[in-house]
Structure 1
Amino acid sequence: MSPNAGKIVGGALVSHHPGLMQCEEFRRLMGAGEDSDLIPGYARLRAKITAAKPDVVIIFDSHWFTTGYHLVDGAARYEGTYISEEMPWYLHGVPYAYRGHPALALAIEEASRARGGYNRVIQNPALGKQYATINLVKQLRLELADVPVVTVSSCQNCDWPHFLKSGEAIAEAVRSSGLRVVLLASGALSHKFNAIDWKPNHPRIFHESNVSRPENIASDKAAIELFKQGRHDTVLERWDEDYRKKPWEAFGAHYLQMLGAMGGKECRAKGEALSAYENARGTGNIHMWFEP
C-alpha cells in the first residue's frame, strides 16, 4: 500500500432511534428512572472517533431509501432545519450545518462505474436529510468537530450482495483518496415494531425484553456474539436463513455496505459493544465499534 493511500480507520454499527433525541427527563420517564445506555454509548463512540482522527465520516443511512442506485450525497455543505415526517410531534426544529466532501463522493461514483456498479453522486445542497443521518451528526457532535460527512443511501431494489459491492467501491475510492475515513452503519438489527396498543413486558421501556419477539432477541444476540468474534463470514452465511427473515433495518443495507468496505466475508474486525442491547418500539439496538 502506498504511504499516501487512504484507509478506513474505524467502523461502527450505531443506533439512531428518534427517542434518543427527546429530553433526558422524558427518556428517564420511559426508562423507569434510568436513561438509555445508548446515550453514554454515544460519548464512548465519540471517543473512538476522536482517537481515529478521521478526515471524513461516511454514514450508511438506513432511512434514505432510493431506487436504482446507491446514492451518495456529494455537495460541499448541508444546512437546514430538520423535521421528521414520521414523528414530528417531538423530532422537529433540529438545526444542522455541516460540510460534505464532494471529492470523495465523486471518487466513489468513479470507482463504482469502473466495477460496473450502481453508486451515483447527487450534488444538490438542497437534498433532504433523514434522521438516521441527522441524529448521528448531532449526537456525535460532528458539526462541532468540523468533520465532513458523506451519506450513502439504502437502495431498495437490491439483494444483499449488491450492498457488499457498494461497500467494495467505497473502499477502493477511500484507498485512492489519501483520506482517513470512519464508517458508521446507522440503524438497528431486528426491526419489527410493537403494535400501537402493545403493553410493555418490563417497566423500563428500553429493556431488551421489550424487543418485539423472543426469536428476534435471540437472533440479535447471536449476531452480536459473532461481531465480537469478528466472524462476519458466519453472519453472511446465515443471512438468508436468519437475518434477512427477521428482518434487520433496511434489510441490513447499513451493515452490509460497511462490511463490504471493510473486506466482506474476509473481514475479521472484532466488535466492541459500546452500549447495552436495547429495545426501541420493538426493534433491537446497540452501538458497536469495529477496529479495522
Structure 2
Amino acid sequence: MGRIVGAAIVSHHPGLMQCEEFRRAMGAGEDSDLIAGYARLRKKIEAVKPHAIIVLDSHWFTTGYHLVDGAARYKGIYVSDEMPWYLNGVHFDYRGHPQLAQAIEAVSREQGGYNRVINHPLLERQYATVNLVKHLNLEHNDTPVVSVSSCQNCEWPHFLKSGEAIGEAIRRSDLDVVLLASGALSHKFNGIDWQPNHPRLFHESNVSSRENIESDKGALEFMASGRHDQILDRWQDEYRLKPWEAYGAHYLQMLGAMGGRECRWKGEALSAYENARGTGNIHVWFQP
C-alpha cells in the first residue's frame, strides 16, 4: 500500500534562481532564508526516502482539466517568458513517473473528477517545477517527478477533489510519495514604481499589504496546529479573495490528497516568511 510520507508548501519565486551575490544585494547583505530553507527541506525529503515526488505547479495553468504530466523523462533548457532577462538558460534533466500519472487519471475518472494525463514531447516546463527540481537536487538523486497543473476554470472544491484522486492513487500503489505544493500564499504584486518599506527586499514588511501579512500569518498558525479545517472555513471569504497564488490550487490539491477537512498534519516552518515583489512566501513541511 502506498503512502504520502511528507508534503510541503514551497516557494519557487524567480529571485531565488539568481546568484548569491545578487540575492545578497537585494537583501542588504543577507541572503534569502528561503535558500537555507531549501537545504532544510532537502534533509526532510531525504529522511523519508520517497519513490516519487508530485509537484502541484501553481504556474501551469490549464483549462478544462487538471493535467498530470506523464512523460518518462524531461530534458531541455528553460527560459522564462515572464522574466527572461535573468531566468534563462536553466538546463534540466530529470525522470518522470508515467505509471503514477496514469494511476491518478484512472482514479479521477472513477470518481468523476477532472485529472487527465498529458504526454507531449514539446510541452514546456514551468519554473514552479523547474526551480524546485534544481534547488532540491532532484536531478542528482534521480527521484521521479510528476507535475500537476492548476485548472483555471475551477472552483476551489474542485482542487480538493483533484487532490483526493491523487491521494487515492498513491494509496493503491506501492509508492512512498512526497507532495510539493509549489507556490506562495497571498499573491498580490507591488506596483512597478513601488518603493520598499525595508532595505532588505525579502523582509516581510515589503509584502503588498499589512492585511495580507496578517492573513498569511493567521493561515500559518492554523497550519502549525494542524487545523486545516479552519482554513477551509475561511477560504471563500478570506484566502480566495486575497488571493493566494493560483487561487490556492497548490495548497488545496495537497490538502485533498492528505485527507481534506479531516487532515490534522501539523506544519513546521522551514524558512522565514518573506516578501517577493509583494507576495508572501515560505516553506512549510507536513508529515503524518
TM-score normalised by L of structure 2: 1.00
Aligned length: 288
Alignment correspondent of 1:48: 44
Q: Percent identity?
A: 76
> Pairwise mapping of residues 152-231 of structure 1 onto structure 2 (< 5 A)?
152-231=148-227
Report runs of 4+ in structure 1 exceeding 4 Å deviation: none
Alignment correspondent of 1:262: 258
Alignment correspondent of 1:281: 277
Letter in 1 for 2:90: V
Q: Distance in 2 between matches of 1:228 and 1:291?
A: 11
SS state of the match for residue 212, structure 1? Answer: coil
Report deviation, 1:151.
0.2
Q: Distance in 2 between matches of 1:280 and 1:273?
A: 17
**CA deviation map 1:166-208 (0-9, x unaligned):** 0000011101111000000000000000000000000000000
Q: Distance in 1 between matches of 2:97 and 2:122?
A: 15
Letter in 1 for 2:272: A
TM-score normalised by L of structure 1: 0.98
Q: Distance in 1 between matches of 2:91 and 2:207?
A: 31
Alignment correspondent of 2:21: 25
**5+ unaligned residues in a row in structure 2: which ranges?**
none
Alignment correspondent of 2:136: 140
Q: Distance in 2 between matches of 1:266 and 1:176?
A: 20
Letter in 2 for 1:114: E
Q: Distance in 2 between matches of 1:175 and 1:276?
A: 33
Alignment correspondent of 1:126: 122
Report deviation, 1:126.
2.4
**5+ unaligned residues in a row in structure 1: which ranges?**
none
Alignment correspondent of 2:84: 88
Q: Distance in 2 between matches of 1:197 and 1:261?
A: 40
Q: Distance in 1 between matches of 2:121 and 2:19?
A: 30
Report deviation, 1:127.
1.4
Alignment correspondent of 1:34: 30
Report deviation, 1:259.
0.2
Q: Does residue 1:242 correspond to 2:242, yes or no?
A: no
Alignment correspondent of 1:12: 8
